[in-house]
A and B are shown apart, each in its own frame.
Chain A
């Protein structure tokens, strides 16, 4: 078994940073009216700027795949490898550009690379750690000697008014809060890393100690959903409506989030963390930096309360976040966090970095321990 190191870090953010007051210029106004919910959502998530792959007229300037490819190129550039050394590519995203084929095929096509092995991972935020774990395992067993992993999101295209105005009876019906919440939370971007079985000769590397992913879908209904709508108690899938147009009218194409259900998932995420503390996988006093993906500041505060009760709080000054400037970029989040961490924080050899990527989609949590090498 080989040790596995992250030897390259890349990020790609489309366009200029977009401030809170300009969001609807890019996304558009539903029914021509400014959103009632925008201030409430922003007050909770405390995001100040984010990026959109749309221009000011709402026209796409990139694709999900092209952003992933740009982040991969940046990651390879920052490593001691050339792109052609890479033989394994894993991608993570919430929604690709097309329903099929998989995003990894599209990203591979965007890169100037010959035939390689690929894997497409689709979930929400934690798909990033699924993809990373697959690459980690590939390097660890010696199947590949250089792998790249991307996380990328193009969420804003689904937040254009046309995605909401068909829903319900009237063309100008205000979308529900569950839909508006995500509209002002998620944004676009991509991050990537490069993995090898040995550390860089000249640059900083991060050794992967372990990646631990746990699904709690056995006990929760979906909290985030796109491609289905509740018909009473029954979840009806978009393909079962007879036509895409009738699915849209039923609201089955909107991306929605049940906030109360998401909050009820906090204890199981914390319990996963606490279990690893009990098992000795996480030693609180040994952690020097925490990269925790969270969708809003208010959730972070609640998480800290629970951790304090369990005697498992890592001091807040060790937490690193770029949520307020880069926005919530879902599956790209952990990669853009790491890219910024190694760039802006002075890291010392031997320091430990704990990464946490919860996913509210249907209650999933991922934890990862890294060591500066």
Chain B
């Protein structure tokens, strides 16, 4: 495959991911707690529920990226570094979330013993299964969705929550922080897509499929919130 064909294949994947994303993004608006938030009916309990249910997702996130990195063979060493770097930057993010939770009256011991909800179980079982396969670059499709929530939705939600509950910015720091770290993410993503991984047979389709599965399961974890 020459350079142009690679970038054309990468652009096609980007277009298909964008279609999955737009469907997913609009479906998020009707997820129970997000619907309440959009209608101005959010309560402090709802915020605690959101944080409680989200913590496992954040913790598991850096774990499956690390697992995926260990499944990448040596011919893709450069991409493996990218995955490792990624796992490293995210693996302590949950501490911010915990501080936010405590700042709004949450009980940290309750949070630490909180079980994954049904959707989070399904999402992460799927992620770890994919991450165990050799060269699981289809997980880029998963990152596109999960980071999309962080970059495009989190800050919007954070500001709405702060406004409706009259909270300080520091009490919604986890949500706001993710919204502010948008720059460069997309460019880096496209670079990895164009780095030769699409030459693996069937990889383009597999990336899109994984993104669609993750979008569905992500929605499920927001449907299946265990109350605080």
Contact = CB atoms under 8 A, between A and B. Distances in A.
A310 B10 CA distance: 10
Contacts, number: 43
Tell me whether chain B's interface is mostly helix, strand or loop, or mixed: helix
Query: Considering residues A220, A270, A310, which has the most beta carbons from chain B within 10 angstroms of its beta carbon?
Result: A310
B78 interface: no
A350 interface: no
A219 B18 contact: no
Contacts of A219: 26-27, 29-30
B19 A271 contact: yes
A309 B14 contact: yes
A240 interface: no
Contacts of B186: 309
Contacts of B14: 309-311
A270 B14 CA distance: 13
B164 to A, nearest CB: 16
Nearest to A284: B11
B15 interface: yes
B15 A268 contact: no
A85 interface: no
Contact of A311 (B11, B19, B23, B25): B11
A270 B27 contact: no
Given A268-B22, A309-B186, A278 B29 contact: no
A97 B170 CA distance: 55
B39 interface: yes
Given A219-B27, A220-B26, 16 more contacts: A216-B26, A267-B21, A270-B22, A271-B19, A271-B22, A271-B23, A274-B15, A278-B12, A278-B15, A278-B19, A309-B14, A309-B18, A310-B15, A311-B7, A311-B11, A312-B15
Interface of B: 7, 10-12, 14-16, 18-19, 21-23, 25-27, 29-30, 39, 186
15 contacts: A216-B26, A219-B29, A267-B22, A267-B25, A268-B26, A270-B18, A271-B18, A271-B23, A274-B19, A278-B15, A278-B16, A310-B11, A311-B15, A312-B11, A312-B15
